[in-house]
Amino acid sequence: MSKHNQLKEIHKSGKSYAIYKSNNGFDLYTDFSKKIILSKKNVSSFLEKKKISKKYKSTDLFIGFFGYELLNNLIGIKVPKQKNNNFPKGIFYKPEKKISYSNNLVNYQANKTRIKKKFEININKKSYTKIFNRFKKKIKSGETYQIKICTKYKLKSKIDPLDFFCRLSRTNLAPEAFMIRDKEYSIISCSPENLITKKGSLISTKPIAGTVRKSKKMNKTKALSYFRNNIKETKEHNMIVDMERNDMSRICKVGSVILSKKKVVEEYKDLFHYVSLIKGKIKNNVKNIDIIKAMMPGGSVIGCPKISTLNLLNNQEKENRNIYTGSFGYLKFNGDMKFNIIIRSILNYKNISEISVASGVVIDSNANHEFRENFIKAKALIELFK
* One-letter amino acid for residue 14 of the chain: G
With 0-12 / 13-18 / 19 or more C-beta atoms within 10 angstroms meaning exposed / middle / buried, residue 175 is middle
Q: To 10 degrees, the CA torsion angle through 185, 190, 194, 200?
A: 60
Question: pLDDT for 175-205, tens place per residue?
Answer: 899 999 999 999 999 998 999 999 999 999 9
- The verdict on whether omega for the bond into residue 305 sits within 30 degrees of 0, i.e. cis, is yes
Sequence length of the chain is 386
Closest CA relative to residue 150, chosen from 135, 168, 169, 171: 135
Give CA–CA dist 43/162, Å, rounded.
29
Quote the pLDDT of residue 234.
84
Quote the pLDDT of residue 112.
64
Q: Residue 18 gets which letter from DSSP? A: E
List the Cα angle 98/62/208 in 5-degree steps.
95
- The enclosing H or E element of 44 equals helix 43-47
Give CA–CA dist 67/320, Å, rounded.
10
Q: Which residues, at least 6 apart from 40, have a Cβ–Cβ distance to it below 8 Å?
A: 70, 73, 89
Quote the pLDDT of residue 102.
84
Quote the pLDDT of residue 294.
95
Ranges of residues in the chain whose predicted pLDDT is under 50:
none
CB count in 10 Å sphere of residue 296: 25
| Cα 290 to Cα 282, 296, 327, 382, distances in angstroms | 11, 10, 15, 37
Quote the pLDDT of residue 290.
95
- The enclosing H or E element of 266 equals strand 258-267
Q: pTM for the whole thing?
A: 0.92
Give CA–CA dist 306/245, Å, rounded.
13
Give CA–CA dist 201/204, Å, rounded.
10
Q: Which residues, at least 6 apart from 300, have a Cβ–Cβ distance to it below 8 Å?
A: 193, 207, 208, 209, 240, 244, 341
Closest CA relative to residue 70, chosen from 258, 292, 222, 260: 292
Question: pLDDT for 292-319, tens place per residue?
Answer: 999 999 887 787 888 999 999 999 888 9
Give CA–CA dist 194/304, Å, rounded.
18
All domains in the chain, ordered by first residue: 3-385 (3.60.120.10)
- The verdict on whether omega for the bond into residue 95 sits within 30 degrees of 0, i.e. cis, is no
Closest CA relative to residue 185, chosen from 292, 302, 67: 67
